[in-house]
Chains A and B, each alone.
Chain A
Amino acid sequence: MSDYKQEPVVGKAGDVTTKDGGKSWFYTDVVKDHFFNPRNFMHEDANPDDYNAIGKVGSPACGDELRVWMKVDPATEKVLDFRWKTFGCGSAIASTSMASLMVTENGGMTLSEARTIKPQHIMDRLGGLPARKFHCSVLCDKALRDAINDFYRRTEQVEKMVVEASRIIDPVSKVTDHDIEEAVLDGAHTIEAVQAKTKVGIGNPSVLPAVEELIRFYREKYFGA
Chain B
Amino acid sequence: MRNVYLDHAATTPLDSRVLEAMLPYMKESFGNPSSFHSVGKDGKDAIDDARDAMSKILHVRADELLFTSGGTESDNMAVLGFCRANAVHGKHLIVTSFEHHAVIEAAMHLEKKEGFEVTYLSPDHDGMITVDQVMAAIRPDTILVSVMYANNEIGTIQPIGEIGNAIQKHRASGNKVPGNPALPVFHTDACQATGALDLDVEKLHVDMMTINGSKMYGPKGVGALYVRRGLKLQPLQFGGSQERGIRPGTENVSGIIGMAKALEIAQGERVAESARLTVLRDALIAGIRARIPKVRLNGHATKRLPNNVNISFMDIEGEAFILYLDASGIYASTGSACTSTTLDPSHVILALGLPYEVAHGSVRFSLGHSTTDADIEYVLNTIPPLVEKLRALSPVCVDPKYYV
Complex CA gap A149/B209 in Å reads: 59
Report A201 CB to chain B, min CB distance, Å: 10
The residue that A90 contacts in the complex, of B323, B356, B395, B398, with Cβ under 8 A, is B323
- The answer to whether A202 touches B393 (Cβ under 8 A) is no
Is A158's beta carbon under 8 Å from chain B?
no
Starting from the known contacts A63-B317, A199-B343, 10 additional A-B residue pairs (CB-CB under 8 Å) come to A36-B324, A60-B360, A61-B357, A66-B395, A87-B394, A89-B317, A89-B339, A90-B319, A195-B343, A202-B337
Given contacts A63-B336, A63-B338, A137-B338, contact A93 B360 (CB under 8 A): no
Complex CA gap A64/B337 in Å reads: 10
The residue that B316 contacts in the complex, of A26, A63, A66, A87, with Cβ under 8 A, is A87
Given contacts A60-B356, A63-B337, contact A87 B323 (CB under 8 A): no
Enumerate B360-404 residues with CB–CB distance to A below 8 Å.
Answer: 360, 392-396, 398
- The answer to whether A89 touches B395 (Cβ under 8 A) is no
Is A136's beta carbon under 8 Å from chain B?
yes
Enumerate B242-267 residues with CB–CB distance to A below 8 Å.
Answer: none
Report A198 CB to chain B, min CB distance, Å: 9
The residue that A85 contacts in the complex, of B341, B356, B393, with Cβ under 8 A, is B393
Is B180's beta carbon under 8 Å from chain A?
no
Complex CA gap A90/B398 in Å reads: 20
- The answer to whether A196 touches B342 (Cβ under 8 A) is yes
Q: Which residues of B contact A35 (CB under 8 A)?
A: 320, 323
Q: Which residues of B contact A64 (CB under 8 A)?
A: 317
Complex CA gap A90/B316 in Å reads: 11
For B, the interface residue count at a CB cutoff of 8 angstroms equals 27
Report A100 CB to chain B, min CB distance, Å: 12
Is B293's beta carbon under 8 Å from chain A?
no
Q: Which residues of B contact A41 (CB under 8 A)?
A: 392-393
Complex CA gap A67/B395 in Å reads: 7
Q: Which residues of A contact B342 (CB under 8 A)?
A: 192, 195-196
Q: Which residues of B contact A43 (CB under 8 A)?
A: 392
Q: Which residues of A contact B393 (CB under 8 A)?
A: 38, 41, 85-86, 93
Complex CA gap A63/B316 in Å reads: 10
Q: Which 9 A-B pairs have the closest CB atoms?
A: A89-B338, A85-B395, A89-B319, A61-B356, A60-B357, A67-B395, A87-B396, A87-B394, A60-B396
For A, the interface residue count at a CB cutoff of 8 angstroms equals 33
Q: Mark A39-82, 1 if CB is under 8 A from B, else 0.
A: 00101100000000000000011111111000000000000000
Report B's interface with A, CB cutoff 8 A: 315-317, 319-320, 323-324, 327, 336-339, 341-345, 355-357, 360, 392-396, 398
User: Can you identify 11 A-B contacts, CB atoms within 8 angstroms?
Assistant: A60-B396, A63-B336, A63-B337, A63-B356, A85-B393, A87-B396, A89-B320, A89-B339, A90-B319, A93-B320, A202-B344
Given contacts A26-B323, A93-B320, A137-B338, contact A86 B357 (CB under 8 A): no
Complex CA gap A92/B323 in Å reads: 13
- The answer to whether B395 touches A203 (Cβ under 8 A) is no
The residue that B315 contacts in the complex, of A61, A87, A192, with Cβ under 8 A, is A87
Count chain B CB atoms within 10 A of each CB in A41, A199, A203 and give the residue with the most.
A203
Complex CA gap A44/B324 in Å reads: 20
Report B401 CB to chain A, min CB distance, Å: 15
- The answer to whether A90 touches B320 (Cβ under 8 A) is yes
Q: Residue on B with the closest CB to A198? A: B343
Complex CA gap A38/B393 in Å reads: 9
Is A160's beta carbon under 8 Å from chain B?
no
Enumerate A177-220 residues with CB–CB distance to B below 8 Å.
Answer: 192, 195-196, 199, 202-203
Is A125's beta carbon under 8 Å from chain B?
no
- The answer to whether B395 touches A136 (Cβ under 8 A) is no
Is A132's beta carbon under 8 Å from chain B?
yes
Given contacts A35-B323, A61-B357, contact A132 B395 (CB under 8 A): no
Complex CA gap A82/B333 in Å reads: 33
Complex CA gap A195/B317 in Å reads: 19
Count chain A CB atoms within 10 A of each CB in B320, B336, B392 and give the residue with the most.
B320
- The answer to whether B327 touches A65 (Cβ under 8 A) is no
Is A171's beta carbon under 8 Å from chain B?
no
- The answer to whether B356 touches A203 (Cβ under 8 A) is yes
Is A14's beta carbon under 8 Å from chain B?
no
Q: Which residues of B contact A67 (CB under 8 A)?
A: 395
- The answer to whether B356 touches A86 (Cβ under 8 A) is no
Q: Residue on A with the closest CB to B334? A: A89
Report B320 CB to chain A, min CB distance, Å: 5
Is A88's beta carbon under 8 Å from chain B?
yes
